[in-house]
Amino acid sequence: MIRRTLTCLLTLGLVACATQPSPPPPSPQASALPAPAPKPAPPALSTPAEATPEAAAPALPPVDLTPVPFATARANFVRETAARYGLDPARIEATLAQAQFKDGIVAAMSRPAERVKPWNEYRPIFITQGRIDGGRAFLAKHRDELARVEAATGVPAQVIVAIIGVETSYGANTGKHRVLDALYTLAFRYPRSGDPAKLEREVRRELFFRDELGQLFALGKEENLDVAALVGSYAGAMGMGQFMPSSYRQFGVDGDADGKRNLFTDYNDMFASIANYFVKKGGWVRGGAVAVPATLAPGQEEFNPTDWTPTYTLAELSSRGYRPAAPVVGGTTATPITLEGSTGKQYWLGFQNYYAITRYNISKMYAMAVFQLSEAIAGKELPPA
């Protein structure tokens, strides 16, 4: 987790949905980001890595931009990873000897981001009748496991299912690249544009993926995984939830108490881990609303904060002309959301649980798509796009 930053790279190789690279780039997480082709692929959650950030990036410490020869960088990686995670350097070397640089992965990361689609074009990519029906069938098939996770965490079953639907079309598209190859390629050959203004970001992205490669080795040790056999997105995101290695390690849960965290084929673990990500990283509120439609009084200027932290009281929002179009619990704080709908601007108020979804992929439209898909899966009527 994400991870996710990113609006949407509508290509596949689902990027890291569940881990947001630092700094925010572009979902999984790594994701991204992150995204489900013949239809465009979903934003990967943590890496919709190369999409346009929708929020201001935080201030970051300086990074050394001096080029380091590959052999030196690789040797440093082996030494530092072995020391950091208590691993045998020879074993790391033996595994890296199996890794391959993949030109296709470099090309995917180099691909220019598509224009940012307005909401009325974005929503139909993810919310189709087929995806709604698929979500209902998936929920019905796994109702018991999902009910246990919902009872334990407060994250509704339909929200967990919607994440899986947006990320991987309910497991139909979890990626086709060896995770080792993806992370090795991006850790040591992250594409350079040649633009001096982009160099710092490119170096930071390479270092992010180098860290994820190290985390992959740590994950292999902790979960007794053959890291050379794992398959995922072109950014290294894995499983139905598209977790990057760091998110797998930090937020993965052994949902059925069998002594392993298996986010590839164990549904109990997958569902519990997605919910845990929402709770631990996003601060999910049990029983809380996600978002409600709102109106903006005529003549009032739109208020568009730089992120979706729900810090504004209803009174503050009311003074700016925002009124919820549905009942809201007193004392609730929210953030205003503006979307470009098919018939004009749409206004919403997003609450803590909306913010929690943006931690999976830092895009207001991604979060709204997950929310509305979850509502449709639960049988609720959706507003027009």
- Please give the positions annotated as active site: 167
CA dihedral angle for residue 32, residue 171, residue 288, residue 154, rounded to 10 degrees: -120
Q: How far, in Å, are 155, 156, 179 from residue 286 at the CA level?
A: 7, 9, 34
| Cα distance between residue 206 and residue 228, in whole Å | 20
Residues 6+ apart with CB under 8 A from 3: 16, 17, 18, 19, 20, 21, 27, 28, 29, 30, 31, 32, 45, 46, 243, 244, 246, 247, 277, 281, 359, 360, 361
* Residue 346 in tokens: 């749409």
**Upstream peptide bond of 118 is cis (omega within 30 degrees of 0):** no
Cβ-contact 278, 284 below 8 angstroms: yes
Cβ-contact 3, 28 below 8 angstroms: yes
* Residue 109 in tokens: 């990361």
Cβ-contact 348, 291 below 8 angstroms: yes
Coil vs helix vs strand at 282 = helix
